[in-house]
Amino acid sequence: MTVAYYLLPINRLGPHRPIASWTLFVLALMGIASLLLKEIRDVLLERPHTRPGMVIPLLVGLTVIVFASTYYALATHPGQFKGLYTRTDALYFTIVTLATVGYGDITPSGQTARVVTMMQILYSFVFLTAAATALAQQMRARLSERAGRNGRS
C-alpha cells in the first residue's frame, strides 16, 4: 500500500484541479467509511465469516493514504503547510495526526489545510475508533470461545 502511495499521480490533483480533487477526496472517504461501517455491523451482528482482522487494518491503511495524498496535494498550494514538502512528510504528518502526537514540526497554516486536518481528527474519532472497538470486541469473543472449548477438554 505504501508503494502505491508513492506511485500515485498526486501531482495531477491539487489547487489547479479543485473540483476533481475534492470530489475524489470525499468519495474515497465516504467509500472507506461505508466499508468500515459494514464491518462494524457484521461484527456487532456476529455474522459468520466476518474477517475484521483483515479488512479493518486495510481500510485504516487506505484512510492514511487518502489523507496523506490530500495533504501532499494541498502542500503544493503556497501557504497551506509549513514543513510539508515531500510525500514522506505528508505520510508522516498523517500518522502523527492520527496518533494524536503532534510534534509541531509540520503545521497546517492555511484554512483549507486546517479544515482537512480537523476532518482527519473527526474521521479518526468516529470511524477508526468504532472500527478498532469492533475489532477488539470480536477478538475478545473469539478468545473467550477458545478458552471455553479448552476448559471443557
Which of 49-58, 89-98, 105-114 is the least confident region?
A: 49-58
114 versus 56: which is more confidently predicted?
A: 114
Which set of grid coordinates corresponds to residue 61? 491503511
**pLDDT interval class at 33 (50, 70, 90):** very high
List b or e across 123-144, with b for residues whose CB sees 16 or more CB atoms inside 10 angstroms. bbeebbebbbebbeebeeeeee
pLDDT of 52 reads 77
The structure's pTM equals 0.86
Does residue 62 surpass a pLDDT of 90?
A: yes
